[in-house]
């Protein structure tokens, strides 16, 4: 059995990719699965830093086998791409005995990120609830928001779907989640919901919900912990923590991962 590969992708930073990746990883570890993680955004290294902090949190804390890959910046484009191809291929082979592999990608377009997308069994694209973030997925061509066309990131995902088809692999299960939501109902939220629901049918993704905006996520990063570690860390749970855990459970259920149903 090949590992199920989960890729966190969006060509925009600050959408919560690393936070979602970390919580998914710890959940899978807690369920008893063997998990490998890959950071193909090693230059920024948020995912990698999270695990560095986590190693210091406790001697018995659960950790995956983690690999950070730095893109090759050789002036020879073909040479650089060949190096990146080999690096990712070797890393996936190294983690071939895992049940799941979670890959975090950069908030910009790189060849290494494109390759990682082509290996995704499940692709999760978190986006903030704003038309600035929405522009990565869709171009709105009129004021009535009825004339829509896929944007640069959606086109890239489509191309990687074709790469998977060439390799004879099953289609990517693409999930877009609205992340860092506020609890207030606004016209902006309603309009974004309308656009995303229309685009989901045209482009082929499932629309879900991620995490609300919470201070706890910024605090957890520095300690290397997740919402799932709070009981062991001695932190007293409050209503916000409980609500955030429920959001995580709902996301995992929505993903319909193998062996978790």
Strand partners, 150: 138
Among 90-99, 154-163, 187-196, name the one with the lowest average pLDDT: 187-196
The answer to whether 2 and 96 are in contact (CB under 8 A) is: yes
Give the list of residues 6+ apart from residue 72 with CB closer than 8 angstroms, or none. Answer: 79, 80, 81, 83, 84, 87
* C-beta contacts of 213-216 below 8 A and 24+ residues apart: 213/180, 213/181, 213/182, 214/240, 214/244, 216/240, 216/241, 216/244
Return the higher-pLDDT residue of 11 and 105.
105
Strand partners, 125: 176
pLDDT of 143 reads 57
Helix axes 239-255, 17-30, angle to 10 degrees: 80
Per DSSP, the chain holds a count of helices (H) and strands (E) of 10, 9
- The position carrying tokens 């004339």 is 147
Please check the confidence at residue 149 and state whether its pLDDT lies above 90: no
The answer to whether 9 and 160 are in contact (CB under 8 A) is: no
Mean pLDDT throughout 197-223? 84
Mean pLDDT throughout 207-221? 83
Q: State what percent of residues in the chain have pLDDT above 70.
A: 91
Instruction: State how far the Cα of 155 lies from the Cα of 20, in Å rounded to an integer.
Output: 23
pLDDT of 256 reads 94
In 10 A of CB 172, how many CB atoms? 23
Q: Residue 5, SS3?
A: strand
Domains of the chain: 4-255 (3.40.50.300)
Return the higher-pLDDT residue of 213 and 10.
10
Could you tell me if residue 166 is left (phi over 0), alpha (psi between -120 and 50 degrees) or otherwise beta? alpha
Tens-place pLDDT, residues 69-80: 998 888 899 999
Give the list of residues 6+ apart from residue 155 with CB closer than 8 angstroms, or none. Answer: none
Please check the confidence at residue 62 and state whether its pLDDT lies above 70: yes
- Would you give the distance in Å from CA 148 to the centre of its chain? 25
Tens-place pLDDT, residues 31-60: 999 999 999 988 888 999 999 999 888 777
Q: State what percent of residues in the chain have pLDDT above 90.
A: 49
């Amino acid at each position: 059995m090949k590992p199920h590969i989960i890729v966190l992708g969006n060509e925009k930073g600050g959408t919560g990719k690393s936070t979602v990746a970390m919580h998914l990883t710890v959940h899978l570890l807690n369920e008893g699965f063997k998990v490998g993680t890959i950071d193909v955004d090693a230059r920024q290294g948020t995912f990698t830093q999270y695990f560095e902090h986590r190693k210091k949190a406790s001697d018995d804390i659960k950790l995956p086998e983690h690999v950070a890959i730095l893109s090759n910046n050789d002036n020879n484009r073909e040479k650089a791409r060949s190096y990146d191809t080999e690096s990712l291929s070797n890393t996936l082979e190294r983690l071939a005995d895992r049940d799941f592999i979670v890959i975090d990608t950069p908030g910009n377009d790189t060849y290494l990120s494109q390759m990682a997308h082509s290996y995704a069994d499940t692709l999760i694209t978190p986006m903030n609830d704003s038309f600035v973030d929405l522009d990565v997925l869709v171009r709105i061509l009129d004021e009535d928001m009825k004339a829509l066309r896929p944007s640069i990131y959606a086109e890239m995902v489509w191309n990687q779907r074709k790469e998977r088809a060439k390799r004879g692999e099953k289609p990517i299960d693409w999930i877009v989640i609205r992340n860092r939501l506020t609890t207030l109902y606004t016209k902006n939220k309603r309009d974004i919901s309308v656009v995303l629901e229309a685009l989901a049918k045209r482009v082929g993704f499932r629309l879900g919900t991620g995490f609300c905006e919470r201070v706890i996520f910024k605090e957890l990063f520095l300690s290397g912990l997740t919402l799932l570690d709070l009981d062991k860390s001695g932190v007293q749970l409050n209503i916000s923590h409980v609500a955030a855990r429920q959001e995580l459970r709902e996301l995992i259920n929505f993903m319909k991962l193998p062996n978790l149903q």
